[in-house]
Amino acid sequence: MPTARSAARIDRSSSPRGRSARAATGQAAGKPLVIVESPAKARTIAAMLGPDFVVESSVGHIRDLPRRAEEIPKAYKAESWARLGVDVENGFKPLYVVAPEKRQVVEKLARLVEEASEVYLATDEDREGESIAWHLMEVLHPRVPVKRMVFHEITPQAIQRAVQEWRELDRRLVDAQEARRILDRLYGYEVSPVLWKKVMPRLSAGRVQSVATRMIVERERARMRFQAAEWWDLQASLDPGEGEPRFEAQSVAVDGQALASGRDFGPEGTLAQGARVRVLEGPEARSLAEALVGRPFEVTQVQERPLRRSPAPPFITSTLQQEAARKLRFSAQRTMAVAQRLYEQGWITYMRTDSTTLSDEALAAARAQAAELYGPDHVPPAPRRYEKKVKNAQEAHEAIRPAGERFRTPEEAAASLSGDELRLYELIWKRTVASQMADATGTTAQVRLVGTPEAGRPAVELAASGSVITFPGFLRAYVEGSDDPEADLAEREVRLPRLAVGDVVRAEAVEARSHLTQPPARFTEASLVKALEEQGVGRPSTYASIIATILDRGYVWKKGSALVPTFTAFAVVGLLERYFADLVDYGFTAAMEDDLDGIASGEREALPWLTRFYFGAPKGQAAEEDGAGRISALGLRRLVAEHLAAIDAREINSIPIGEDPESGEPIVVRVGRYGPYLQRGEERASVPEDLPPDELTVERARELLAAPSGDRVLGEDPESGKPVLLRSGRFGPYVQLGGAEESGEKPKTASLLASMRPETLTLEDALALLALPRLVGVDPASGEEIWAHNGRFGPYLKRGSETRSLERDDQLLGIGLEEALALFAQPKTRRGRQPAAPLRELGEDPETGQPIVLRSGRFGPYVTDGTTNASLRRGDDPETVTLERAAELLAERRAAGPPARRSTRATKAAKATKATKVTKAAKTTRAAGSRGTGSTRRRASGE
C-alpha cells in the first residue's frame, strides 16, 4: 500500500530511451522493455518497434485475491478475514497472491526488468489494464524509469506515437478496479455460503452470474404464466389480370373492425385490455374464406414510401457472438476459441472489445476494398463512424476487424484458412467492409383492398406489402441475421404488381389460417449475451464464461440452443430475490459502474463506498440515497448473518406448481439432494431431469404423481405374484414388492447394496434384497439368532442388541455362522476388527521420530503418525506423496492446534449445521404443517 504512489511516480526528466536513468543507477546499457497483456500482441508490437525494444507479455493479471483456501499464505490463514482475502476490518486491504500458474511469467518479467534500461507498461487503457500495470509495478519494483504507455489500435504509427506520449500511472483508475474486485469478492464469498447452507453445497452467487440466472428464470416464469390463444386470419392469393403475377394479401379487418393478430396478444398470451380488435375464430374464418373465393377486391389505398437501410456497426465481442450463433451456429465459447486463433495468427484484431471504432487504417482499407469489389458508388463520401452504444463500455481496443492496412479477402484467406476459421474470418470481413458501405435504398408499398362475400355479409379488408431495393449498397456485402425468423421473412424483397386505387383484382384462392400465440422465447447463448450487455453486466472477456459457469453450477441446461433453467435455479433465484433483492436487481451493475466512474474520476473514494456496502450506511444517513437500499442500510455482512438465521430452507426449496383441481391440495416441486421431486401431501414423485419447468403443469404433475417415472418393473415375485419395482427414494435407489396402490399394508422395501447399480439390477438381485434380513444361524452359546441386515451404513450383523458391520456386500448373502461368531468375538471398534492395511508406509517423521503411514479414510487419503492425522490436499497424489510432504502436512496440522481450540468460529458453524439437521429431521417426522419457528432454529444453532 505505502509504496503504491511513490513507486508509480514516473521520471519525466528521462528521455524515452532512458539514458539518464542508466547513468543514475549505473546499470549496463539495456534496451527498453515494453510489457503488454497478450503474447500475440507482444509479437505484433515487437515487429513494429524493431530490435531496439524488448517486448514481453504479462498474460493477463499477474496477481489476484486467493481463490481457494490452498492459496492463502500460511501467515494469514488464522486471520478472521482470510476466507475473504480482504481485511475488511482494516480498510478493506486486499491480500494479493501470485497464482501458481503465473509464477513463471512473473519470474521471466523480473529477469527482463533487471536487464532493461526502462520499462513501458503498455497494458490496455481501461480499469483492468491500469490495474495490471500497477500490479506489475508492485511485484517487479523496477529500479529503472517506468512509463505508462497506451494505445487503442495496433498500427505502426499508433505504437510509435504511444512510445513518445507516455503518461503516469493513474492510481484512481487502479482504485476503481480494486473496489470493483473487492465488491465482487465480498458479494460472491458471502452470499455463496448462504446457498450452501440453505440449498445445496458448491452452489454460487455473484453480481454477474446471479443476474444471468435470474433473467433465464424470469423468462421461464413468463412462459409458465403464458396462456396460448388461438386466432385466425385469411390469406388470399390475388390475380391482377393482364398477365401480371399473382400476389398474396392477408386479412386485417372485417366489417370495418380491425382483426387481432399475434402482436395484439401481450406477453401473457392474452389480449391487452381495451384492445379494440376482434379475434377471428375458426368457423367464421373458414366460412369467409369459402365465400370469398372468386370475388373481386378493389384497391382502396396504395402507399409508397422510400426505403433506406444502413449497415450495422463493425463487430464487437457480443455482436460477433450473436452473429456467429445465428449464421454459423457457433456457441459463444467456440466463437471465442476460433477468434483467438485468428487473432494469434494475425488475421484479425483483438477479439475481446466493446468498441465499434475502426482505426483510420481500417477505415481506409474497408473503403478501398468496398470500392474495388462493388464500385465507388457503393462507398459513401465520408467514412462512417459509429457512436459508442454499449453501456459501461471501456473502449480500450478497436472493433473486431480483419488485421492490417489492406484486408485479405476471404478468397485470399482460403489459401491458408479452412473450416471454422475461414467461416468466421469471412463473417468478420463482410461485416467490416459492409459497415463502410453506402445505405441500401428502395421503396416499400402498402396496399389495402376491400371485397365482400355474397350480399348482406360484412366486407373484408386485406393488406399486402412489398418492398423493392433499387440500390443495394451494403446489402451486397452483408445482411445482419435475426433471432426472429418471421421478421427475417418480412425483410425479404417482395414485389407487388403495379396497382392504383380503384383497380379491381380477383381472389383466386383464400385460405383460413389458424395461429397460436407463442410464449416468450427462451434465451439462447447469443440472446443472453445481448441482454447482459444491454444491462451493462459482464465484460467481453467474460460473456462466454458466464454461460459456462451457470451451466456448470447446474442452474441451466441446454435444450438444443435454448437455455433452460433447473429447479435449483428457481430455488436459488427465489432466495436471492426475496432476501438479497438489491444484489440481483438488474440495475445493480449499472449503479456500481456509476460509482466506480466516480472513484476513477476522483469524485468519491473507494473506502467509504466499500464500507457502506459491507457494513452499512452510517447512522442517520438515508439508506435510500443509493440504489442498494437495503444492503446499504444494514450492510452485506449483517444481512447475511440475519438471513442465515431466518431463511427457512424447506420453504426456499419448494416451488409451487399449483393446486390439485380434485383435492385442492397444493402441488410443489421440492429441490432435494437427489434432484427435484414433486410433492402433494404425503405423495412424492421424481421430476424427470429433462423436463423443462414450463412443461410441468398441474396436469403433468398429477400424471407424474400417479405413475412416478423413475419406477421400473423388474418382474414378478414367483411366490406372491406381486410386481417387483425399482424405485428411487430419499436414501437412493430401492426395490419394492407390490404396487403402492395396494390398500392397507405397507409394501416391503429394500435398499440396493453399494455394489449394485439401478441400471443393471435384475429381478434375482431384487428378490435377494427383499429376502433380507437373512437368518445366519443361532448362537450355540446364548441361543440368540444372528441376522444379516442391510442398513444405513451398509451390511451388518445383529445378535440381540449387538451389531457388527460387515466388510463387503457379498457377505450379507453369503456369510456363515462360524464367521459371524468370529466377528462378534472381536470388540466392536474398527481397529479391533480388521484395521485396513495402510496404503503405504512413508518412514519416520524427522521431527518426532514417529512412523508415518498413508491411510485411506472416509474423507479420502490421509497421513498419520498415530496421534495426528492430516488429509492430503488438492494436488497431493497418494501414489507419490513423499515423507517430507507428509511431515509438512502433519506439522501444519499440529500447528493448527487441537480440534477443540481451533477456529471457534468453524467449530460453532459445524455444530450449528448438525443441530439444524437434527431439527430438520425431527420436523420431518412430525406432522406436516407445524413448521419450525425462527426461535427454535436460533436455539438449535446457538446451542
Partner DNA sequence: CAGTGAGCGAGCTTCCGCTTGACTT
Q: Minimum Å distance from CB 711 to DNA?
A: 10
Do residues 335 and 540 lie in contact, with contact meaning Cβ atoms separated by under 8 Å? Answer: no
Determine, following the binding rule CB under 7 A, whether residue 857 of this chain makes contact with DNA.
yes
* Location of C-alpha cell 476490518: 89
Q: What is the DSSP letter of 56?
A: E
Determine, following the binding rule CB under 7 A, whether residue 205 of this chain makes contact with DNA.
yes
The stretch among 89-97, 253-261, 466-474, 856-864 that binds DNA (CB under 7 A) is: 856-864
Residue 2: phi, psi to the nearest 5? Answer: -65, -30
The stretch among 252-260, 538-546, 611-619, 627-635 that binds DNA (CB under 7 A) is: 538-546
The catalytic position among 350, 425, 478, 677 is 350
Q: Which of 479, 483, 408, 492 is nearest to 437 (CA)?
A: 479
Q: Minimum Å distance from CB 16 to DNA?
A: 25
Q: Minimum Å distance from CB 320 to DNA?
A: 14
Q: Which of residues 208-227 bind DNA (CB under 7 A)?
A: 208-210
Q: Minimum Å distance from CB 749 to DNA?
A: 4
Q: Minimum Å distance from CB 164 to DNA?
A: 24
The stretch among 163-171, 277-285, 717-725, 799-807 that binds DNA (CB under 7 A) is: 799-807
**560/552 Cα distance (integer angstroms):** 17
Determine, following the binding rule CB under 7 A, whether residue 926 of this chain makes contact with DNA.
no
**652/573 Cα distance (integer angstroms):** 10
Residue 211 identity: V
Q: Which of 37, 38, 206, 40 is nearest to 131 (CA)?
A: 37
Q: Where do runs of H (alpha helix) occur along 306-389?
A: 317-328, 332-344, 360-374
Q: Minimum Å distance from CB 862 to DNA?
A: 2
The stretch among 485-493, 516-524, 833-841, 863-871 that binds DNA (CB under 7 A) is: 863-871
Q: Minimum Å distance from CB 200 to DNA?
A: 9
Q: Which of residues 92-121 bind DNA (CB under 7 A)?
A: 101
Q: Which of residues 52-91 bind DNA (CB under 7 A)?
A: 57, 59-61, 64-65, 67-70, 83
Please indicate whether residue 374 is annotated as part of the active site: no
The stretch among 374-382, 465-473, 541-549, 713-721 that binds DNA (CB under 7 A) is: 541-549
Determine, following the binding rule CB under 7 A, whether residue 135 of this chain makes contact with DNA.
no
For strand 504-516 and strand 230-239, is the pairing parallel, antiparallel, or unpaired? antiparallel
Q: What is the DSSP letter of 422?
A: H
- 10 Å Cβ neighbour count for 743? 4
Q: Which of residues 408-467 bind DNA (CB under 7 A)?
A: none
Options 27, 270, 345, 541; binder of DNA; rule CB under 7 A: 541
Q: Minimum Å distance from CB 796 to DNA?
A: 3
95 burial type by CB count under 10 A (0-12 exposed, 13-18 middle, 19+ buried) = buried
Options 381, 793, 825, 929; binder of DNA; rule CB under 7 A: 793
19 or 730: whose CB is closer to DNA? 730
Dihedral-angle region of residue 854 (phi above 0 means left; psi in -120 to 50 means alpha; beta otherwise): beta
| Helix H or strand E encompassing 597 | helix 588-601
Options 358, 696, 788, 870; binder of DNA; rule CB under 7 A: 870
The stretch among 320-328, 576-584, 630-638, 828-836 that binds DNA (CB under 7 A) is: 828-836
**861/778 Cα distance (integer angstroms):** 39
Q: Minimum Å distance from CB 881 to DNA?
A: 13
781 burial type by CB count under 10 A (0-12 exposed, 13-18 middle, 19+ buried) = exposed
Q: What is the DSSP letter of 805?
A: E
The stretch among 9-17, 19-27, 298-306, 855-863 that binds DNA (CB under 7 A) is: 855-863
Options 859, 879, 930, 935; binder of DNA; rule CB under 7 A: 859
41 or 522: whose CB is closer to DNA? 41
Residue 107: phi, psi to the nearest 5? Answer: -60, -45
**393/125 Cα distance (integer angstroms):** 12
**176/172 Cα distance (integer angstroms):** 6
Determine, following the binding rule CB under 7 A, whether residue 896 of this chain makes contact with DNA.
yes
**423/402 Cα distance (integer angstroms):** 13
791 burial type by CB count under 10 A (0-12 exposed, 13-18 middle, 19+ buried) = middle
Options 394, 467, 535, 568; binder of DNA; rule CB under 7 A: 394
Q: Which of residues 548-587 bind DNA (CB under 7 A)?
A: 549, 553
Q: Minimum Å distance from CB 735 to DNA?
A: 8
Contacts of 92 (CB under 8 A, 6+ apart): 86, 182, 606, 607, 610, 611, 614
| Helix H or strand E encompassing 390 | none
Determine, following the binding rule CB under 7 A, whether residue 335 of this chain makes contact with DNA.
no
Q: What number of CA atoms fall less than 13 Å from residue 402's CA on the CB side?
A: 29
Q: Which of residues 712-771 bind DNA (CB under 7 A)?
A: 728-734, 746, 749-751
User: Rounded to the nearest 10 degrees, how much is the dihedral formed by the CA atoms of 725, 728, 732, 738?
Assistant: -30
Determine, following the binding rule CB under 7 A, whether residue 791 of this chain makes contact with DNA.
yes
234 or 424: whose CB is closer to DNA? 424
61 or 148: whose CB is closer to DNA? 61
In whole angstroms, how large is the CA radius of gyration of the chain?
36
Residue 77 identity: K
Q: What is the DSSP letter of 29?
A: P
Determine, following the binding rule CB under 7 A, whether residue 184 of this chain makes contact with DNA.
yes
**29/52 Cα distance (integer angstroms):** 12
Options 431, 448, 530, 893; binder of DNA; rule CB under 7 A: 893
Question: Which 3 state secondary structure label does DSSP give 791?
Answer: strand
274 or 929: whose CB is closer to DNA? 929
Q: How far is CA 867 from CA 598, 873, 925, in A?
A: 57, 19, 40
The stretch among 476-484, 694-702, 860-868, 929-937 that binds DNA (CB under 7 A) is: 860-868
373 or 910: whose CB is closer to DNA? 910
Q: Minimum Å distance from CB 763 to DNA?
A: 17
Options 16, 30, 39, 666; binder of DNA; rule CB under 7 A: 39
Q: Which of 923, 580, 639 is nearest to 937 (CA)?
A: 923
x-or-dash string of contact with DNA, 872-891, rule CB under 7 A = -xx-----------------
425 or 677: whose CB is closer to DNA? 677
Q: Which of residues 770-789 bind DNA (CB under 7 A)?
A: 789
Provide the angle, in degrees to the nearest 10, between the axes of the packed helices 525-534 and 543-552: 120
78 or 459: whose CB is closer to DNA? 78
Q: Minimum Å distance from CB 322 to DNA?
A: 18
Determine, following the binding rule CB under 7 A, whether residue 185 of this chain makes contact with DNA.
yes
**612/628 Cα distance (integer angstroms):** 10
| Helix H or strand E encompassing 748 | strand 748-751
Do residues 127 and 173 lie in contact, with contact meaning Cβ atoms separated by under 8 Å? Answer: yes
123 or 251: whose CB is closer to DNA? 123
491 or 731: whose CB is closer to DNA? 731
370 or 546: whose CB is closer to DNA? 546
Q: Minimum Å distance from CB 517 to DNA?
A: 35
843 burial type by CB count under 10 A (0-12 exposed, 13-18 middle, 19+ buried) = middle
Number of residues that bind DNA (CB under 7 A): 112
Do residues 238 and 297 lie in contact, with contact meaning Cβ atoms separated by under 8 Å? Answer: yes
365 or 705: whose CB is closer to DNA? 705
Options 9, 830, 917, 939; binder of DNA; rule CB under 7 A: 830
385 or 902: whose CB is closer to DNA? 902
Options 375, 739, 835, 860; binder of DNA; rule CB under 7 A: 860
**Active-site residue numbers?**
350
